[in-house]
Structure 1
């Protein structure tokens, strides 16, 4: 099956297909049900179930799996792409390595093991034909090394593997619902980030971090109060001038007309009047000359009748 070219973003998203080989681990960060194969389930069956429930992909084959992981589209899996399949260098994987030396040894072990199983001609690369000959079962399981196939940033991983599963409805998004260990870790990470930002801001402003945090807290309270006040205020809608009754439409027209001066003077010159105040300017003819006897002239007459109405009712 030959697939059409897919955008890089799509390929990166589907890198999580690598979890086909993780037969014992869950993408959740711990403390929840195991997402790996159940007893008696083959890796192919697990792949289908996992892709459907975790990534909303219902059908795929070995060749499409290969193409989605061939990030540079050169027809081979190289060392970097094998590492990407297993999320070797993701922060979650790095946290399970004692130091950089151990982490590098882990990466080399994973790559060499995969190549030993799938690189049939020993050239250091894996082709789609080689993967097809060996099958999906040729993808080893490295969950004991923490290589669980994560590819996105921490925030995206939390949403994909925890928020979407445990907090996807209004009832599970209340403050009382976020009690899992993953929630606590996630909130702690946010607090640490905010603390570092406050420290940088305090250093820049030459004040204490407590002052910065207090100012941020006060600003948040003020913003909340302002939003609540805005939500409680009734909305007053004003009709456009053309739909207003004459008393409202011409309320300040006479004063504005006096300010503008005689018709024909100023920048507007002898242009046809467009505003109520223009139609009340001194020397304005009853019939304004236009290119033709159009609706503009009729409109002027109508407006003048409105003025007469106001004047007669104000006597």
Structure 2
């Protein structure tokens, strides 16, 4: 039972990452960009002015001073629902392209130093066909791609009636219910007498 609820909760989270519809769609019909980092910062972070170190630090998710393959994968939004049709082979090959540009010594990491050097030399992050790089949680993606675009800080509850709003709050309700069930299960005491003898220690 606990495993089923955990799977359900994880499924709700995964479902949330794939919210896409007419107003705030994650699909992108834009042609490939020759300056993907700028496109990413504008569309995903609403930041127009930035430098190489700030871009690096923003996407150094574990603050280690180096990008791993997982961090590059996350930055490009490869695990977002919008890239569900991209095969693992395609994703691996795409990540290799980035490391070939910014990891000249083939260390398996992109250091901030190598990143800044590469950018200074005119090297740019390639457009890998993953869109603008959706890598936020469901709250962030809803805010950045829908709420900020179609509503505002003074929006009333009655105005949050777009399909994206309804779906977003439905997911919130599902996640809260799933969390409540998990909390209840965690508070339940184990009754030894209910454990089959083959699973008990002698």
Residue 18 of structure 2 corresponds to residue 31 of structure 1: no
| Separation (CA, whole Å) in 1 of partners of 2:90 and 2:170 | 28
Which residue in 1 is equivalent to 2:199? none
* Aligned residue in 2 for 1:62: 52
**Structure 1 residue 191, shift from structure 2 partner:** 3.5
Change in 2 beyond 3 A, CA 1:169/1:74: closer
So what's the TM-score if we normalise by structure 1?
Answer: 0.39
Partners of 1:51 and 1:58 within 8 A in 2: yes
Which of 153, 168, 172 is 1:190 aligned to?
A: 172
Q: What stretches of structure 2 of length at least 5 have no aligned partner?
A: 1-18, 187-202
SS across alignment from 2:175:
helix
> Is structure 2 residue 142 aligned with structure 1 residue 158?
yes
Q: 2:84 aligns with which of 73, 80, 97?
A: 97
1:238-296 CA-partner distances (Å, limit 9, x unpaired)? xxxxxxxxxxxxxxxxxxxxxxxxxxxxxxxxxxxxxxxxxxxxxxxxxxxxxxxxxxx
Any conservation in 2 of the 1:94–1:103 contact (CA below 8 Å)? no
Match of 2:95 in 1: 111
Q: Indicate whether 1:82 and 2:65 are aligned.
A: no
Matched, 1:130 2:118: yes
- The answer on whether the counterparts of 2:68 and 2:108 sit within 8 Å (CA) in structure 1 is yes
1:168 Cα deviation after fit: 0.8
CA-based RMSD: 4.4
Alignment of 1:236-251 (within 5 A): none
In 2, the alpha carbon distance for the partners of 1:134 and 1:106 equals 25
Alignment check: 8 A CA contact 2:76 2:130 kept: no
Q: Distance in 2 between matches of 1:115 and 1:43?
A: 17
- For the 8 Å contact 2:24–2:146, the answer to whether it is kept is no
Q: Label 1:110 to 1:169 Cα distance change in 2 as closer, same or farther (>3 A).
A: same
Aligned to 2:14: none
Q: Secondary structure at the match of 1:32?
A: coil
Tell me by how many angstroms 1:198 deviates: 6.8
- Across the two proteins, how many residue pairs are aligned to each other? 165
Q: C-alpha separation between the residues in 2 aligned to 1:164 and 1:115?
A: 34
- Tell me which of 34, 43, 46 is aligned to 2:35: 43
Query: Structure 1: where are the runs of 5+ without partners?
Result: 1-27, 205-315
Conserved? CA contact 2:38–2:48, under 8 Å: no
**What is the correspondence of 1:162-177 to structure 2 with a 5 Å cutoff?**
162-170=146-154, 172-175=155-158, 177=159
Larger of the two Rg values belongs to structure: 1
For residues 84 and 202 of structure 1, the distance between their equivalents in structure 2, rounded to whole angstroms, comes to 33
Distance 2:183 2:121 in 1: 58
SS at match of 1:143: coil
TM-score, normalised to structure 2, is 0.56
- Please state if 1:140 is matched with 2:131: no
Residues 180 and 103 of structure 1: CA distance in aligned 2, closer, same or farther (over 3 Å): farther
Shift of 1:166: 1.5
Q: Which SS does the other structure have where 1:165 is aligned? A: helix
CA contact (8 A) 2:23 2:164 kept: no
